[in-house]
Amino acid sequence: MYKASELSIGLKEAIDMSNAFKQLNLSDLNCGTWIGNTRLDSHATIASHSPVDGKCIGTVTTSTKSQYEEVVVQATEAWMEWRKLPAPKRGEIVRQYGDLLRKNKEALGYLVSYEMGKSLQEGLGEVQEMIDICDFAVGLSRQLYGLTMHSERPNHRMYEQWHPLGLIGIISAFNFPVAVWSWNAMIALVCGNVCIWKASEKSPLCAVACQQLFSEVIKNNHLPEGISCIITGDHNVGEWLTNDHRIPLISATGSTTMGKKVGEVVGARLGKTILELGGNNAIIITPTADLKVVVPGAVFGAVGTAGQRCTSTRRLIIHESVYDVVVNAICKAYGQLKIGNPLEVSNHVGPVIDQMAVQSYLHAVAEATNQGAKVLVSSEVLSGPGYESGCYVRPCILEANNDMAIVQTETFAPILYILKYSGDINNAIAIQNNVPQGLSSAIMTNNLREAELFLSVSGSDCGIANVNIGTSGAEIGGAFGGEKETGGGRESGSDAWKAYMRRQTNTINYGEQLPLAQGIKFDL
């Protein structure tokens, strides 16, 4: 058992982590399989190492197959009761969880930042995103609308309604260790489903924290514990979920490679998927773009979360007439970036998640230069005091061509490719769309015609298209997701809730006769 006082981290971090763990009631960390507040122990463990300093924060046990079976059985039994609760009552449970998140925002944000490596401001922002989706879900619980339709038959009424699917499997990635789960779970819960969460094995403690907070709400309201469960482990644990016909919907966030496997397996059993996969996001910078907007939008999009957002800016497509001015401004801004401990608010960029990410960064830079890219801001793995984890890399900028194989590939690291276009906006849009991925996109322009064309059917082919803001930082009010190899899934706002429910069409005959549709005669 690991307690906060025993964690092998630095003195300042130990004090902060101890306070955070006490507030989150996380003195007992070492279990990775939970049914509500009931822990299921095993012998195998996963260690969570912080990329901030390389120290071990703690270990959690991994789920066994028998424990997984117990989770599914308990979740199924819980669903039988949860689905009967009126949707506004389910919304009340989510509201209570949102209030608990408000009370624990600082502590949970600290844990997110320390375990994953994003800046403390981004960690706090991620918890705020959880709070926001709770608020959205509470309102949604009174707006799960169907439609009424006029029947072609006399004395008949038609309408449609929505019912919960049942057990929802959520597979999340390390880069947003708590927010993406909440996007799915809070919406799924108000829709009447129960959730089984397989978090990334690179950030398991964040999942334990969220589960223990939610279990307080379950306990206080005398609800079945199986409403919310977590399982922990490698890809094998995820495969149990994806292969399980008892799980009608799998929502998976990760690489395109992973998503293709999940989609194939779940599709083979005719299950449903929400896939949020890779992004290769671009900002088009036109001659009328305002540099005061361009620079912060492009730089934060490229280096925020150390380039490890699915919406991170990977490409800048700049018109030749403003190319030199924009490139010089961006390069100057990169020279002012402070790289270091993300818990210190003065730093802009923290570490990448682990050594595998470092190697991916180095490989991509080498491939780009081999394919003819020109280095504008050099790459580097930082070492020395403050960089002991070996996970700190310098955000780099490469002048490239969109047809280069490496530019067509998403690299989860702070690498920005600069591309030049000439002619009108249609040429820039063609370059932007000419990648396999289709998540987020943006244009910087003060030309109304360019902006409207970018948003039109002839414009961006991405699920997200922005004008005069960057590619990252989506709000929960809109549906989040992308097209092409991004997977086509939608989470969070708008009517994304429909993916977590099944539609049912109902026809009621309140007359004394039985007329058939389409005027068919069937006399006995």
Which residues does the annotation mark as catalytic?
A: 276, 310
Q: How far apart are CA 348 and CA 304, in angstroms?
A: 8
Reference 20, options 132, 156, 127; nearest CA is: 127
126's tokens: 């991620």
Biggest distance spanned by C-alpha atoms of the chain: 91
Q: How far apart are CA 242 and CA 273, in angstroms?
A: 9
User: No. of H helices and E strands in the chain?
Assistant: 14, 23
Are 355 and 390 in contact by the 8 Å Cβ rule? The answer is yes
Q: Mention every residue, 6+ apart, whose C-beta is less than 8 A from residue 199.
A: 172, 177, 181, 206, 207, 230, 232
Reference 412, options 252, 255, 273, 260; nearest CA is: 255
Helix orientation angle between 87-103 and 120-140, rounded to the nearest 10 degrees: 160
Are 460 and 433 in contact by the 8 Å Cβ rule? The answer is yes
End-to-end CA distance of the chain: 75
Place of tokens 């600290």: 110
239's tokens: 């495969």
Neighbours of 114 (CB within 10 A): 29
Alpha helices in 118-255 (DSSP H): 120-140, 179-190, 204-220, 235-243
Q: What is the DSSP string of 480-495?
A: E--EETT-S--EESTT
User: Reduced to 3 states, what is the DSSP secondary structure of residue 225?
Assistant: helix
Residue 154 half-sphere exposure toward CB, CA atoms < 13 A: 6
Burial (Cβ within 10 Å: 0-12, 13-18, ≥19) of residue 462: buried
Q: How far apart are CA 158 and CA 102, in angstroms?
A: 43
User: How open is the CA angle 40-44-45, to the nearest 5 degrees?
Assistant: 90
User: Reduced to 3 states, what is the DSSP secondary structure of residue 138?
Assistant: helix
User: Reduced to 3 states, what is the DSSP secondary structure of residue 285?
Assistant: strand
Are 388 and 369 in contact by the 8 Å Cβ rule? The answer is no
CA 290 from chain center: how many Å? Answer: 30
User: How open is the CA angle 310-208-37, to the nearest 5 degrees?
Assistant: 140
